[in-house]
Amino acid sequence: SPISICFPPLWGLPVDHGPYIYLAQVSQTSRHVQWLGSLISLPIKELIVSTFTAWCNSHLRKAGTQIENIEEDFRNGLKLMLLLEVISGERLPKPDKGKMRFHKIANVNKALDFICSKGVKLVSIGAEEIVDGNVKMTLGMIWTIILRFAIQDISVEETSAKEGLLLWCQRKTAPYRNVNVQNFHISWKDGLALCALIHRHRPDLIDYSKLRKDDPIGNLNTAFEVAEKFLDIPKMLDAEDIVNTPKPDEKAIMTYVSCFYHAFAGAEQAETAANRICKVLAVNQENEKLMEEYEKLASELLEWIRRTIPWLENRVAEQTMRAMQQKLEDFRDYRRVHKPPRVQEKCQLEINFNTLQTKLRLSNRPAFMPSEGKMVSDIANAWKGLEQVEKGYEEWLLTEIRRLERLDHLAEKFKQKCAMHEAWTAGKEDLLSQKDYESASLMEIRALMRKHEAFESDLAAHQDRVEQIAAIAQELNELDYHDAATVNTRCQGICDQWDNLGTLTQKRRDALERVEKLWETIDQLYLEFAKRAAPFNNWMDGAMEDLQDMFIVHSIEEIQSLITAHDQFKATLPEADKERMATLGIHNEILKIAQTYGIKLSGINPYTNLTPQDISTKWDTVKHLVPLRDQMLQEEVARQQANERLRRQFAAQANIIGPWIQTKMEVQFLLDIAGSLEEQMNSLKQYEQNIINYKSNIDKLEGDHQLIQESLIFDNKHTNYTMEHIRVGWEQLLTTIARTINEVENQILTRDAKGISQEQLNEFRASFNHFDRKRNGMMDPDDFRACLISMGYDLGEVEFARIMTLVDPNNTGVVTFQAFIDFMTRETAETDTAEQVMASFKILASDKNYITVEELRRELPPEQAEYCISRMTRFVGPNSPTDALDYISFSSALYGESDL
């Protein structure tokens, strides 16, 4: 409010008259002014004149001038107008150039009008008294100026002017011994209060511990000299005058002390500005560190994915089962050892990115844009590609192992059949090439003919084995058997030999038929024996081959089928035994006839090499192989039953773990946690720990899964959950809870940075959850509008469209909880701005448009100073020093699109 001052109080009157007596309370005439002035003692008047003169000159020297005589030098009004321009920073009307009395009065009136425009009510101070050199009126006017421009604006805890200045002095000197500031007269006589003010702000200038209370003149002169030399405060007082006066003039002391307030208040303002700048720079430095960490972690993760994908894409099959099983073991190590840390890195990367964006948003910084190819979406796509290749790789491994298993089985079967066939064909070509019939007798020829017929029967019986050998060889080729060349060579040799045997057989038959007419008798019994023994012998060969045949099954049903076939075979043994007895009966009949008719037998059947002993031996072999086959089949039944137990064991756990993971994935729990954010964080971390504690069940299931794979079990009808389903669900569960914890952490950051209360956050969450109709952590635009209306927003279409651009900048059609929280706190929170940072730098730069390197290093801590120096551009302007830096563009860049 305006102040009413006419001129200094009645200096020298008794104390009970009060510190101020205004002219309006005494008289409205200059005659009474003269009477009042006569009461001023000479020493006090001189003190006031010298103090006011020094104060005026401390400002006029900024304009390159000064006054010598305060009652003379202001009479023309020119220096008075200049003084007002310097202390106010404003331009006054152009002064009159003339030297006549009316010119001087006009200039003084311009000065007095300017003072009145600043809210000062001047009572009975006229331009004529100033022009006439009335020292009392002149001093009163100067005191009015001091009060308005040096003291009135001082404010400490809602006090102002004199009270504010006194409170400031009391606070600054409170810690000092022998100092007790209660007023602006006797409290300052010993000089300790002035020295304490200086030491409080510049302890390097005065050693307060060496000052003595009994040396007031020394203390005062020390304060005057230090203030003039180092603080640019001119000496306005005289130490002897203050010490020798019972009550020093209050106005003189206030005038001088106000200079200290303005000197040190500027330093405090600079300190405040420096603190603001350091805070902003610290935020930027922390954000840059987070950006660098994100870039490094993203690069390492993408590089690992880049290296891993070619390994998973390499589908070159190994040639042996051992090598392929080693590949499968390497893949298991990848899933158990190498991939889990990368899953955690990927989750941590998303958390770091969200935290960084929240910090940037809270500090009013532009959003972080990672390097090209390192966005969270890029990493997610790369990870998706890795998992697709990974899934295909595991399927390929199992398929290849199954193929190699089949190949090994077929190769062994091929070798067995080839060995049996080659053993049978050994010497057959030489036998068919003999010309023994040329010198044989009739009986011998007849025997050779029958023998050859038996061989043809035997040859036809072996046709099926040759076809089987060719079929197995073809399948081995189709399955890309690694030693197919050897198989093909052996198979081709057998086929070529078989064709040659057919040719030789036909040639020998033709030869024997040509001489057949020469033979009349044939021993029917030998022939019948040969005819019956040969197929029975072939049947036994086939039976022994089947009983020793290798098999591969993957289920109880398959092995049960083999057991059924074996039981059917055993059911044919009685009939086979009858055939054996009948065949041996023919031989016994031959012996009986020979014994009856006295025929001397040579002991050799001319029609076959088979003997009764051969048939009996092979029959014994068949009977021996039957129980061995029974044992082999029962062992396989046990193995398949063990496999079935493994399937059921895995399914029992998977059918528990799978639904458990699906239940834990429900977001409803995460949305309805009550309490403070810290309590929510504790609940979520406990929830996370409970999930982590469940990991032992996953590990046990992994062990069961490994046993199943080692047992070459490829299907499980008892569960719909595969190990891959469990792994993916587990990883998604860990990622979801980690992201939710990160969301609460970001809410804590938002609450602390925005200065909003826990109750406000709870209200925001309650409103959001109420309008989250689908309970999926998001609101559609209609629900969001309803939510805002429920909270008191009066929304038109244009305003709602503007808000939607803020909460859904990518036009996804939904509003997330984080976006909702940001909107509710953005417009009410206090955040630092580029303009605030510029204003702080301007204070440090003493109102210049640039700041020097020296000023930065003087005003800021070393780390922040060097940060600014390295990033600020050079200021280009007239008369600017070489180390001038542009703080304006630097401040703008902190909050805009830049590389800072």
Identify the CA nearest to 781 among candidates 763, 806, 764.
806
Give the Cα-Cα-Cα angle 575, 580, 586 (nearest 5 degrees).
130
What is the pLDDT averaged over residues 46-61? 84
Extract the tokens encoding 35.
């009477």
**Residue 509 confidence (pLDDT) above 90:** no
Is 49 in contact with 139 (CB distance < 8 Å)?
Answer: yes
CATH architecture of 834-894: Orthogonal Bundle (1.10)
Interval 252-300: pLDDT, tens:
888 889 888 888 876 767 767 777 788 888 888 888 888 888 889 989 8
C-beta separation of 834 from 891 below 8 A: yes
Q: How confident is the model at residue 23 (pLDDT cuts 50, 70, 90)?
A: very low
The residue extents of the domains of the chain are 274-406, 427-610, 659-825, 834-894
Q: What is the largest CA-CA distance in the chain?
A: 192
Reply yes or no on whether the pLDDT at 847 is more than 90: no
**Least confident segment among 397-406, 444-453, 530-539, 701-710:** 397-406
Contacts within 8 Å (CB) and 24+ apart, 554-561? 554/640, 554/712, 554/713, 554/714, 554/715, 555/640, 556/637, 556/640, 556/641, 556/644, 558/640, 559/633, 559/636, 559/637, 559/640, 560/637
Beta bridge partners of 161: none
pLDDT of 508 strictly over 90: no
Instruction: Look at residue 27 in the predicted model and tell me its pLDDT.
Output: 28
How would you classify the pairing of strands 851-852 and 3-5? unpaired
Confidence (pLDDT) at 594? 54
Residue with tokens 């050897």: 486
Is the pLDDT at 218 greater than 70? The verdict is yes
Mapped to the 3 state alphabet, what secondary structure does 27-40 carry?
A: CCCHHHHHHHHCCC
pTM beyond 0.75, yes or no: no
Kindly report, residue by residue over 145-202, the tens digit of the pLDDT: 887 776 766 655 556 678 888 888 998 898 898 899 999 999 999 999 999 999 988 8
Question: CA 382, CA 374: separation in Å to the nearest integer?
Answer: 10
714 φ, ψ (degrees, to nearest 5):
-110, -5
Asked if 142 contacts 254 with a C-beta cutoff of 8 angstroms, the reply is no
Could you report the per-residue pLDDT of 774-793, keeping only the tens digit for each?
877 789 988 888 888 887 77
Give residue 744's pLDDT band: very low, low, confident or very high (50, 70, 90): confident
Comparing 21-35, 102-116, 490-504, the range with the smallest average pLDDT is 21-35
Q: What is the C-alpha to C-alpha distance for residues 526 and 540, in angstroms, rounded to an integer?
A: 20
Q: Which residue has the tokens 């398959």?
A: 558
Using CA atoms, how far apart are residues 203 and 206, in angstroms rounded to an integer?
Answer: 6
Give the tokens for residue 356: 């960084």
List of E strands, 697-845: 778-779, 815-816
Q: How many helices (H) and strands (E) does the chain have?
A: 34, 9
Asked whether the beta carbons of 705 and 723 are under 8 A apart, the reply is: yes
- CA-to-CA distance for 497 and 478, rounded, in angstroms? 24
Burial pattern 575-600, b for ≥16 Cβ within 10 A else e, equals: ebeebbeebbebbeebeeeeeeeeee
As a whole number, the mean pLDDT across the chain is 81
What is the rounded distance in angstroms from the CA atom of residue 595 to the CA atom of residue 831? 128
The span from the CA of 83 to the CA of 254, in Å, is 19
Q: Which tokens go with 508?
A: 């020998």
Give the per-residue pLDDT at 470: 92
C-alpha distances (whole Å) from 137 to each of 26, 134, 221, 656 are 15, 5, 31, 100
Answer whether 274-406 and 427-610 agree in fold: yes
Phi, psi of 120 (to 5 degrees): -95, 130
The distance from CA 709 to its chain's CA centroid, rounded to whole angstroms, is: 35
Quick one: average pLDDT of 734-751? 82
Q: How far is CA 436 from CA 509, 511, 608, in A?
A: 13, 11, 16
Spatial separation of the C-alpha atoms in residues 395 and 517, rounded to whole Å: 70
Ranking 118-122, 590-594, 802-806 by mean pLDDT, the lowest is 590-594
For residue 290, how many C-alpha atoms fall within 13 Å in the half-sphere facing its CB? 22
Residues in Cβ contact with 726 at an 8 Å cutoff, skipping those fewer than 6 apart: 654, 657, 658, 661, 698, 701
Q: Which two tokens stand for residue 92?
A: 């006054």
User: Per DSSP, what are the bridge partners of residue 121?
Assistant: 4
Give the SS3 label for residue 528: helix
User: Which of the following CATH numbers is that of domain 659-825: 3.50.50.60, 3.40.50.720, 2.60.120.10, 1.20.58.60?
Assistant: 1.20.58.60
Is the pLDDT at 6 greater than 50, yes or no? Answer: no
At 182 the pLDDT is 93
Does the domain made of 274-406 have the CATH classification 1.20.58.60?
A: yes
Residue 841, burial from CB neighbour count under 10 angstroms (0-12, 13-18, 19+): buried
Q: What percent of the chain has pLDDT over 70?
A: 87
For residue 895, which of 841, 826, 833 has the smallest C-alpha distance? 833
The total number of residues shown for the chain amounts to: 900
Identify the pLDDT of residue 884. Answer: 92
pLDDT at 225: 93
Vertex 323: Cα angle to 318 and 327 (nearest 5): 90
Q: Is the distance from CB of 85 to CB of 104 less than 8 angstroms?
A: no
**Contact (Cβ atoms closer than 8 angstroms) between residue 739 and residue 350:** yes
Cross-strand partners of 873: 886
- By C-alpha distance, which of 200, 190, 173 is closest to 248? 190
What are the tens digits of pLDDT across the range 601-625?
A: 666 777 888 888 998 999 999 999 9
Do 303 and 309 contact (CB within 8 A), yes or no?
A: no
- Which of 92, 94, 113, 114 minimizes the C-alpha distance to 103? 94
- Identify the residue whose tokens are 């809870």: 737
Cα separation, 881 vs 851, whole angstroms: 10
Q: What pLDDT sits at residue 222? A: 93
Span of 231-245, 366-380, 517-531 with lowest mean pLDDT: 517-531
pLDDT band at 444 (very low <50, low <70, confident <90, very high): confident
Give the model confidence (pLDDT) of 554-577 as tens digits: 788 888 888 999 899 889 999 999
- What is the average per-residue pLDDT within 735-752? 82
Round the CA-based radius of gyration of the chain to a whole number and report it. Answer: 57
**Considering the domain 427-610, what is its CATH architecture?**
Up-down Bundle (1.20)
Strands 3-5 and 120-122: parallel
Minimal CA–CA distance to 151: which of 34, 50, 13, 252? 252
Could you tell me which of 530, 382, 520 has the C-alpha nearest to residue 456? 530
Average the pLDDT over 865-876 and give the result: 91
In the prediction, which pLDDT does 44 show? 54
Q: Give backbone dihedrals phi and psi of 770, rounded to 5 degrees, phi first.
A: -65, -40
For residue 217, what pLDDT is reported?
A: 92
Residue whose structure tokens are 């929830």: 687
pLDDT of residue 215: 93
Q: Where are the strands (E) in 479-568, listed by range? A: none
Reported as a pLDDT band with limits 50, 70 and 90, residue 676 is confident
Quote the CA–CA distance of 701 and 644 in Å, as a whole number: 16
- pLDDT tens, 80-105? 888 888 888 888 888 888 888 888 88
